[in-house]
Amino acid sequence: MNNHHESIGSPDTQQITLRGPAELADALPYLMGFHPNDSVVMVALHGGRGRFGGRLRLGIPGAPEEWAPVSDQLAQCLIAGSEQRESRPDAVVVFLCQDPAEGESASQTMERLRPFAQLLRTACGALDVPVLEALCISDGRYWSYCCPDARCCPVEGNPLALPGTTVMAAAAAYAGIQVRGTLRDMEARLAPEEPAAANEQERALDSAGAALVSRILDVDGRGEVSSETLSLARVLMERLGSAPAVRAADADAADDALINPDEAAAVILGLQDRQTRDRAAEWMEGPEAKTALRLWRVLARRCVGPYVEHSAAPLTLAGWVSWSTGDESAARVALGLALRADPHYTFAQLLHQACNQGLDPETLRRCLRGERDVREAGEGYGTGIPEHAAGRQEPAAGRPEAASNKPPARLRAARRPRRAPVRPVRGEASRPGAGAARRRARETRRSGDRSAESRS
């Protein structure tokens, strides 16, 4: 077992010292706010005592041929981000978390991922930052890729400590830090509805697209649809806020029952307009932030079938509200899903990068308040959200595909590449105009980009 200490805390607060792989493995869920299953996590260490700094997470690529370029990108992102935020890290800790595949043992999972761990160590070493420890966590056990001593790191691995029995668990309980299940659990709260309910919602989205998209593409109609969308969203937020409290386990289902498919479809389509989305982003603090977050989660779950790409808007808003209210773990999950739905969604890219860099969301909150003040003073929509408000677009941590994207001068002026035509889906022929409605819905976003660019 490697002898080293990692400390959590600042000089002004009580510090917790973690000794060895066992306590590192136990600390991971508290560092992330959830159990990062199927993930590679990298954490920067600073100073002689190994104070924890920046961290990033990425789903483990399924194809081994992707491991080398992903390793290089992750190492560069973590080190560059740490330098921008505070200082160059002195070392890195790597975690590979994945449960065994069908027919595979945990030990076999560890061995299968060993080349990935070695590539990550090499990538960090090439940038003169050593990997102090690399752990594999699988099926309730952990292994060290850095310790060759079978006496303390046996081939069959070591069992993880029982939940709540370690120094980190005690410190987290005292500080009020909670671990909210696994990453899979958190993503499930934002995932599309089950097929039985999805069919009705998809029909509602088809109908809303046929009714709204042509109006949004019209200069005069666009403002009307924006006002209608925001008014309806306000009504839904009030409905959610006034509903009786239910158990936490039933909260999402209760929220879903309060919003019918037609209402959800109208707001989802309306939010594809960037100006409308920016107005909705102003519901970011105070009592309205809580109900807004519940609404964005409901709408993300309603983006079903071929409308999954439309979820980028409500997911980004959910991530923004979570970050604005101090829930960085939930923010990273929501923004990661937004970028999975649409890798070119600029607002999500900028928020994801700013959140990963540990920036203060107050900068963007100030900008949105200013936008609201200008509008209420009768001076229009203002000049848009400047890029520095959400952080400049450097390579997004854990997102190699976003590394080469240069940010626009303003978020609303973002231009995205044209997408391929929508392919017909089963049952589409039985709903006249469904395919055309979806194509018009896609054109709405492109039109919103062009209109925003002309305003800028």
Say what the pTM is: 0.69
C-alpha span between 335 and 324 (Å, rounded): 13
Express as a percent the part of the chain with pLDDT over 90.
Answer: 48
Q: Do strands 131-138 and 91-97 pair parallel, antiparallel, or not at all (unpaired)?
A: parallel
Q: Which residues contact 399 (CB under 8 A, 6 or more apart)?
A: 58, 339, 343, 349, 352
pLDDT at 409: 30
Determine phi and psi for 152, rounding to 5 degrees.
Answer: -110, -20
- 3 state SS of 257: helix
**DSSP H or E stretch at residue 52:** strand 51-59
* Residues 47, 48, 51: CA angle, nearest 5 degrees: 50
Show the domains of the chain with their CATH numbers.
5-183 (3.40.140.10), 189-455 (no CATH)
**DSSP H or E stretch at residue 95:** strand 91-97
Residue 391 DSSP one-character state: -
C-alpha span between 408 and 319 (Å, rounded): 21
pLDDT at 169: 61
The tens digit of pLDDT for each residue in 210-263 reads 998 888 888 888 899 999 999 999 999 999 999 999 998 899 999 999 999 999
What does the pLDDT profile of the chain (456 residues) look like in tens digits?
A: 444 444 444 334 446 666 677 778 888 888 888 888 899 999 999 987 778 888 888 899 999 999 999 999 999 999 988 888 888 999 999 999 999 999 999 999 999 999 999 999 999 999 999 999 999 999 999 999 998 888 888 889 999 876 655 666 666 665 566 667 788 888 988 998 777 678 899 999 999 999 988 888 888 888 999 999 999 999 999 999 999 999 988 999 999 999 999 999 999 999 999 999 999 999 999 999 999 999 999 999 999 999 999 999 999 999 999 999 988 889 999 999 999 999 999 999 999 888 877 788 999 999 999 988 888 887 554 445 544 455 543 333 334 333 333 333 322 333 333 333 333 333 333 444 456 555 655 555 555 444 433 333
Length of the chain: 456
The tens digit of pLDDT for each residue in 77-87 reads 999 888 888 88
At 37, which amino acid appears?
N
